[in-house]
Structure 1
Amino acid sequence: MIFRQITHDDLGCASYLIGDEDAGVAAVVDPKLDIDGYLRLARYFGVGIEHILETHNHADHVSGHGRLAAATGATIHIHEEASPDYDHEALADGWELELGAVRVRAVHTPGHRPEHTAFTLTDTRRGPEPWAVLTGDTLFVGDIARPDLAVDKEQGAHGIFHSLQDKVLALPEDCEVWPGHLGGSLCGGPGMDMKVSSTIGYERAHQELLAIADEKEFVEQTTASLGPQPPNFENIVALNRGPLLRESIEAHPLAPRQVDSHQRDGALVIDVRTELQFDEAHIPSAVCITALRAGFGSKLAWLADPEQPVVIVGRDDEDARQAVGLAAAVGITEVAGYLAGGMTSWREEKRRVERVTRLTVDELHDRWESDRDSVQVLDVRERAEWEDGHIPGSVHEPYHDISDVPEGVDPDRPVAVICGSGQRAAVGASLLERYGAGEVIHVVEGGVPLWQRRGWPVDAPGTTEA
């Protein structure tokens, strides 16, 4: 039997190549947009990819089913309620597919989306019971799927409750759980683990939500603290429902003069280098989203209008081209091009650059403690993080909601932008500068959690300032 998990680490997505080497046949479940890995594995194992299985119309990333079907001639299978606008074979609960000795069975598990389907895997050479279940966006390692991406959140939560209790958790205790997402995805909650797999028995024993037998209580708990919905998700769902995307996105190299021209015409310039490189020198009004750490695509999708042209600035051309691929995976395909030669070419032409001041958490505290009026603090974390504790007197605005200088921030006074680690603060600082704040400070090497661990003053429900 062939079984391989292939991840898209930037988005926290997992896909699977399954099949039978002896029979020479394989299928791919939930393919990512970059299909080269599946084709390489298929050649390595000497199998043909004849089937593509989708657990649902994905809301957080663009599927590679169109490209993979074009490359292999494989049939795309998805639940009948998905109603895609492309050639496919509709499946229903109980549908089965034989890949040599491997039997795949569809288990309709609505909730995250009405068409959502899990797939159990049985190796008939070894036994009749399923040894694994590809749970898609129903059950994750350490968490469950969010219920609010296709229907009313309460309706979705009721659906997930029955899908889990009546179907997924009815599988054998030792059945392996292989999810559609790992930690970092926006399709689940904060409990999602980076671990790649688990078992039904372990998740049942260690997930508090799975122990809730009362449906009303389950719905209340799963809908009480939902985070922001994945950015651009309606556009991504529309792309995944078809027509099929068969070609890759090509980006063209641009000279500095062309970048300047595109920017004046309304293009959004995205600098994908490290935060340190951005802070030291960047193109005026550029937005800092490093592509060298996980989450680039999600951050970009929060900020970029799918119809707005984007220009990518990297350390070099290869960096930029890779970022273009990551952008396409979240439906950002209007790429005007990338700065040829990276930021070096801009500097060689002696074009104007901007810089962002950097302060460590300790340095910010020293300045804040000596004179609180000397610096404003903008906290760009999510609402739940803010409510767990924040610096007294700070202003709150999640980085992805910054579309102007936030209310409560004086653009003519120094403002320090802080998050949990310094990464989101880099994005927030660049946006604040873009919208006209005069002296922007990027808080680095930690954030509010480090401030709290130092024992310095925080405001939070039930606490008072020290």
Structure 2
Amino acid sequence: MIFRQLTHDDLGCASYLIGDEDAGVAAVVDPRLDIDEYLRLARYLGVRIEHVLETHNHADHVSGHGRLVAATGATVHIHRDAEAEYDHEPFEDGWELELGDVIVRAVHTPGHRPEHTAFALVDTARGEEPWAVLSGDSLFVGDIARPDLAVEKEEGARDIFRSLHEKLLTLPDTCEVWPGHLGGSLCGGAGMDLKVSTTIGFEREHQALLSVEDEAAFVERTTAALGPQPPNFENIVALNRGPLVREVVEAHPLTPRQVRQAQDAGAAVIDVRTELQFDEAHIPGALCLTTRRAGFGSKLAWLADPEQPLVLVGRDDEDALQAADLAAAVGLRTIAGYLAGGMTSWREEGHEVERTRRITIPDLHERWADEASRPQILDVREQDEWDDGHIPGAIHQPYHDIDAVPEGVDPGRTVAVVCGSGQRAAVAASLLQRHGAQDVVHVVEGGVPQWKSEGWPIEEPEG
């Protein structure tokens, strides 16, 4: 039997190549947009990729099913309720696909989406019981999927409860669970682990949500802590449901003059270098969003308009081309180009640059303690983090919701931007500068948790 998990670290996605080496046949489950590794593995193992299986219409990344069909002639299989607009073979609960001695059995598990289906794997050469289940976006390591990206959240939560208790948790305790996402994905909650697999028995024993046997209580708990919905998910679902995406996005090199022209015409400039490099010097109006940390694609999808052209600026051309691939993976295909030669070429031609001041949490506390020099403080963490305690007098606006200078912030006065570590604050600081704030300070090397650990004043919402 062939079984390979392939992860996309930036998006926290997992896909699978499964098959039978003796029979020479394989299938790819939930393929990512970059298909080169599937093709390489298939050649190496001497198998043909004849099938593509989708657990559902993905909401966080563009599928590679179209590119695999173009490259291999494979048939795409997805549940009938997906209402896919491309050529495919629809299936229903209980459908089976034979790959030599390997049987793939469809287990319809609605909740995350109505069409969602897990795939139980049976190796008939070893036994009749499923030894593993590809759980997709239903059951994760340490968590379950969010229920609000396709239907009303209470309806989705009820469906997930039934899918778990009537389907997945009836599998043998020894059955391995290989999920569609790892920690950091937008499709799950904070409990998701970076561990790549688990078992039904371990999750039943150790995942608190699975011990909730009352459906109403389960619905209440799973819907109470949902984060905000990413704004681009409907666009990604439409791409995955619609005509097959077969072509890659090509990014073309631009001179500094062409970058300025594109920016003047409405393009967004995305600087993908490190936060430190951005703060030291960047193109005026650029957004700071580094590819050097996980989650670039998800954050970009949250902040960018799918119709707005993007100009990518890296340390060098390789940086920018990597960013273009990550942008395409989240459905952002309008790439105006990239700054050839990176930021160095901009500076060599003597073009204007903008800088962002940096201070640490101890520096911020020192200034905050002196009312005469106290800056405005903008906390850009999520609502639950803010509710857990914040710096007295701070203004709150999650970084991904900054589309203007936030209410309560005076753009003419110094504003210090803080988060939990300094990473989200970098994005928010660049957004504030883009929207006209005149003196923006990026709080680095820590955030509000460090402020709390030092024992400095913390304010919590009443009640």
Shorter-chain TM-score above 0.5? yes
Answering whether residue 387 of structure 2 is matched by residue 387 of structure 1, we say yes
1:306 aligns with 2:299: no
Task: Describe the superposition over 1:386-418 as per-residue Cα deviations: whole angstroms up to 9, x where unpaired.
Answer: 101111110000000001000111111111101
Q: Which letter does structure 2 place at the counterpart of 1:19?
A: G
1:275 partnered with 2:275: yes
Separation in 2, partners of 1:132, 1:148:
27
Residues 13 and 182 of structure 1 are in contact (CA less than 8 Å); yes or no, is this contact kept in structure 2?
yes
- Report if aligned partners of 1:135, 1:178 keep a CA contact under 8 Å in 2: yes
| TM-score, reference length from structure 1 | 0.98
Residue matched to 1:196: 196
| Letter in structure 2 aligned against 1:127 | G
Q: Could you give the per-residue CA deviations for residues 278-332 of structure 1, whole angstroms, max 9, x where no partner exists? A: 0000000000000111000111111111000010000000110010000001111
**Corresponding residue for residue 84 of structure 1:** 84
Q: Is the 8 A contact 1:270 1:310 kept in 2?
A: yes
Structure 2 regions of 5+ residues with no counterpart?
Answer: none
Query: Residue in 1 aligned with 2:340?
Result: 340
Structure 1 residue 373 displacement after superposition = 5.0
Q: Secondary structure at the match of 1:381?
A: coil
**Which residue of 2 is the match for residue 113 of structure 1?**
113
SS of the residue corresponding to residue 374 of structure 1 reads: coil
The letter for the 2-side match of 1:176 is E
Give CA deviations for 1:140-181 in whole Å, capped at 9, x if unaligned.
000000000000001001100000000000000010010000
TM-score (norm 2): 0.99
Cross-structure match for 1:152: 152
Contact 1:95 1:105 in 2 (8 A): yes
Partner of 2:291: 291
Report the alpha carbon displacement of residue 71 of structure 1 after superposing the two structures with TM: 0.5
Residues 56 and 78 of structure 1 are in contact (CA less than 8 Å); yes or no, is this contact kept in structure 2?
yes
Write the deviation string for residues 16-69 of structure 1: whole angstroms up to 9, x where unpaired.
Answer: 000111111110000000000101111111111000000000001100000011
Deviations 1:332-373 (A, max 9, x none): 110000000000000001000000000111111111112375
Give the equivalent residue in structure 1 for 2:417: 417
Residues 172-207 of structure 1, C-alpha deviations (whole Å, 9 max, x = no match): 001001000000001011100001000001111111
**Is residue 126 of structure 1 aligned with residue 115 of structure 2?**
no
- Quick one: distance in 2 between partners of 1:235 and 1:370? 48
Unaligned segments of structure 1, at least 5 residues: none
Structure 1 residue ranges, 4+ long, deviating more than 4 angstroms after superposition: none
Q: Which residue number corresponds to residue 74 of structure 1?
A: 74
User: Which residue number corresponds to residue 187 of structure 2?
Assistant: 187
- Give how far 1:455 is off: 1.2
Aligned to 1:103: 103
Quick one: percent identity of the two aligned structures? Answer: 75
Instruction: State how far apart, in whole Å, the 1-side matches of 2:304 and 2:177 are.
Output: 35
| Distance (whole Å) between structure 2 residues aligned to residue 5 and residue 191 of structure 1 | 21
Inter-partner Cα distance in structure 2 for 1:440 and 1:365: 16
- The two structures, once aligned, show a CA RMSD in angstroms of 0.9
Aligned residues: 463
Instruction: Compute the displacement of 1:374 (Å).
Output: 2.5
Contact kept, 8 Å, 2:317 with 2:342, in 1: the verdict is: yes
Question: Which 10-residue stretch deviates more, 186-195 or 365-374?
Answer: 365-374
Counterpart of 1:362 in structure 2 is 362
Matched, 1:48 2:38: no
Matched, 1:4 2:4: yes
1:372–1:153 distance in 2 versus 1, CA, 3 Å: farther
Q: Distance in 2 between matches of 1:14 and 1:257?
A: 40
